[in-house]
Structure 1
Amino acid sequence: MSISWTEEVSNETVANTSSEFHLEADFQYSLFPVIYSIVFVLGLIENVLALFFLSCRGEHTSHSSVYMVNLALVDTLFVCVLPFKIHYHLNQNNWVFGDMACRVTGTLYYINIYLSIAFFTCICVDRYIAVLHPFTYIQIRVTHYVMVVTVLWVVALSVTVPLILGGPLHNSGVRNTTACFENFTTSSWTYRMAPYNILALVFGFVIPFSIILISYPLIARRISQIKHSICKRKALSTIYIILVICTLCFLPYHLTHLLHFLMRTQVIQNESFTTLIYKMRRITLALVSLNCCLNPILYYFTSSSKQWHFNFKLRFRSKRVYTICDQNFGESSYVYILHQRHGNKNHRAGIN
């Protein structure tokens, strides 16, 4: 989440060993507006509703919902800047909103990517502790979650300071249009941006995604050892949904960006392969924004707010008393209830 990750190349000139050639992808001028329009409408509605249910009715949520509130918040901030990007791509990648608006828009784009991955990782670790170390989990307080979230926001905002204070606007030179976060030179990629790209790839995606991949089989194995594990299966579903979102949205983007980085540093110099990489990158840049529409699925399946819909039904369920020694909640507990009811009847009969 740094300067190295803020390039959206529209019609860029790549230096080859003997000549220069232009990379074109005219489909992007319709692809980005369509995808971003869908994400803007659905993402705004879904995440605003998620913020309402997770924040305004916080008494029904768990401690881990702190992560989900912040995930919905960063998604909401992202979809709010999408109209600017829609206008930008509709006008053949020509930015007309000024330098500061370009920096803020581009910064929020990449904050959304890496904070989303960070919050996904925190949710998976939370589920891992809850399932495999339940006694440790009950000792964790809300303040611990707030501290983790605060650290993540501070790191994200501090890393984006160079983006906001820098000068990322460049004239593309092809149609005399003003590009936003584009057209960095090959020398900049080779010397200035290489360390940022490597660090962002390793610490921004590879390590968090590996933690998510490791958490899933560990929790699955633990759940397979428990017969009655509705809550445990809920934890497994949480990580499964996160895996699907990461695989569909973030994994293709980072794979193509790695190839794009190798192309910009001239490690890859094949012209036909370079053209393919460029087109794949345009598609994955649009695809990564779909996480804002998919994240609310995670809120629905993991939030305890679903109990609001069943409170009326639950009130009519029979109440049973179980002793702390009951393991299978079997016949002994039920007999205990019958004896209690029989005693109450005899007591009322004596009073009458």
Structure 2
Amino acid sequence: MLSVGLPITKMATFDDNLSNQTHSSAYYCKFNEDFKYILLPVSYALVFVIGLALNTTALYVIVFRTKRWKPSTIYMFNLTMCDTLYIFTLPFLVYYYADQNDWPFSEPFCKVIRFLFYANLYGSILFLCCISLHRFIGICYPVHSLYWVSARRAKLVSVAVWAFVLLCQAPVLYFSRIRDRDTERICYDTTSPELFDDFLVYSSVVSVLMFALPFMVVMVCYGLMVRKLLEPSWGSQGGDEGERGGLAAQRSKQKSVKMIIIVLAMFMLCFLPFHLTRSLYYSFRYLRQANPAQLSCNLLEASSIAYKVTRPLASANSCVDPILYFLAGQDVRSNLTKRIKASSSKYPNASQCSTSQL
């Protein structure tokens, strides 16, 4: 059996203590993962406390303090709902990892918990993509956005996003399993060992469709938005009123550029490391299974540690979303109002439309 310098403590084989009953000694890797029994409960508990406070506040403001729902409000409401559903699952994961991978609940509940994690993850990514596209249209095509963007379309898009997320994440309910091992009951983060090859194909497809492509869209949108906002003519008007409005537009423009940078940084901090380390870990695990001599246990262990360290980062998006997008929404609405007023003289019909659509 291959092993890495181990104290007499709980060990992990690949992911969440995979059973070695069906694997040869040449394939089986054993390494120490005691760090996750501290890292994951503490980080998930922090996300639960902070995220619950921020998201319930956001929901209260949106539901009870917002008189007219704009498209951005609809997207933010769905994003907040997505985060809130996930946050309510965290106490169970805190208990599970604090008790060192001993699942006290049923298998269906294990499936629901894992399903909600991935539904939140990819639901958040897709709604962030929707918000980015919405802002891109509003900033780069302010007049046309009055006709392209509406609350009704935002609702239809939101329903489509939820349907797509639920459809794509439904296989998680099949792959997630529990297994009794010694005196413990494991709730697999991925799936049981015999289904891992199928899960790898499914996970790869989902990562491309629901992370890689939306991430490219967000990068392109924000890149074009920054270029547009940095144009000297953006938000400029004539006359004394235009001078005052131009100064305000410049200040608002700078805030919007900073916000875009922050959003991109947080997007890459929460989602990109998780997907990179997870893909690396899954690939190494597959290679180790296919050809044990091709990959050492030390490399597999390093990838497993990196993957588990980035899991709390993916959960942290539930805390960041309410802060970033309420703040960004205010700046963008201010920018769009100035921009559309500046264009009203050129497009008389646009002055009759309300910027509340944005």
**Aligned residue among 204, 210, 227 for 1:221:** 227
Structure 1: which 5+ residue stretches go unaligned?
1-7, 308-321, 327-352
Matched residue SS, 2:70: coil
Question: Any residues of structure 2 matched to 1:85-234 within 5 Å, and which?
Answer: 85-139=93-147, 140-164=149-173, 166=174, 168-171=176-179, 173=181, 175-182=182-189, 184=191, 188-190=195-197, 192-225=198-231, 226=234, 227=236, 228=246, 229=249, 232-233=253-254
Aligned residues: 302
The answer as to whether partners of 2:122 and 2:210 remain within 8 angstroms in 1 is yes
Question: Any residues of structure 2 matched to 1:1-352 within 5 Å, and which?
Answer: 9-12=15-18, 18-59=26-67, 62-139=70-147, 140-164=149-173, 166=174, 168-171=176-179, 173=181, 175-182=182-189, 184=191, 188-190=195-197, 192-225=198-231, 226=234, 227=236, 228=246, 229=249, 232-233=253-254, 235-266=256-287, 269-304=295-330
- CA-based RMSD of the aligned residues comes to 2.8
Q: Deviation per CA, 1:196-245: give whole Å up to 9, x if none.
A: 12211111111111111111221111111125335555554453333122
* Structure 1 residue 303 displacement after superposition: 3.6
Q: Deviation per CA, 1:263-283: give whole Å up to 9, x if none.
A: 221167222111101111111
Aligned mates of 1:253, 1:104 — CA distance in 2: 21
- 1:319 corresponding residue in structure 2: none
* Structure 1 residue 158 displacement after superposition: 2.4
- Once the two structures are aligned, what percentage of the paired residues are identical? 28
Aligned mates of 2:101, 2:25 — CA distance in 1: 28
* Structure 1 residue 193 displacement after superposition: 2.1
Q: Deviation per CA, 1:11-59: give whole Å up to 9, x if none.
A: 2368689341213210111111111111111100100110111222223
Aligned mates of 2:60, 2:162 — CA distance in 1: 21
Amino acid of the structure 2 residue aligned with 1:151 = A
Amino acid of the structure 2 residue aligned with 1:26 = D
The answer as to whether partners of 1:11 and 1:24 remain within 8 angstroms in 2 is no
Aligned mates of 1:16, 1:145 — CA distance in 2: 54
> Taking structure 1 as reference, are residues 99 and 186 closer, same or farther at Cα in structure 2, changes over 3 Å only?
closer
The answer as to whether partners of 1:74 and 1:115 remain within 8 angstroms in 2 is yes
Aligned mates of 1:276, 1:56 — CA distance in 2: 48
Report the TM-score, using the length of structure 1 for normalisation: 0.78
> Taking structure 1 as reference, are residues 172 and 283 closer, same or farther at Cα in structure 2, changes over 3 Å only?
farther
> Taking structure 1 as reference, are residues 286 and 257 closer, same or farther at Cα in structure 2, changes over 3 Å only?
same
Aligned mates of 2:114, 2:27 — CA distance in 1: 31
> Taking structure 1 as reference, are residues 325 and 255 closer, same or farther at Cα in structure 2, changes over 3 Å only?
closer
* Structure 1 residue 183 displacement after superposition: 6.8
* Structure 1 residue 163 displacement after superposition: 3.1
Matched residue SS, 1:59: coil
* Structure 1 residue 167 displacement after superposition: 6.2
Report the TM-score, using the length of structure 2 for normalisation: 0.76
Q: Deviation per CA, 1:52-96: give whole Å up to 9, x if none.
A: 112222236532121111111111111111111111011111111
Q: Deviation per CA, 1:264-307: give whole Å up to 9, x if none.
A: 21167222111101111111112211111111221331244999
Amino acid of the structure 2 residue aligned with 1:288 = A
Structure 2: which 5+ residue stretches go unaligned?
1-13, 237-245, 289-293, 334-341, 347-358
Matched residue SS, 2:29: strand
Aligned mates of 2:190, 2:180 — CA distance in 1: 7
The answer as to whether partners of 2:222 and 2:260 remain within 8 angstroms in 1 is yes
Amino acid of the structure 2 residue aligned with 1:219 = M
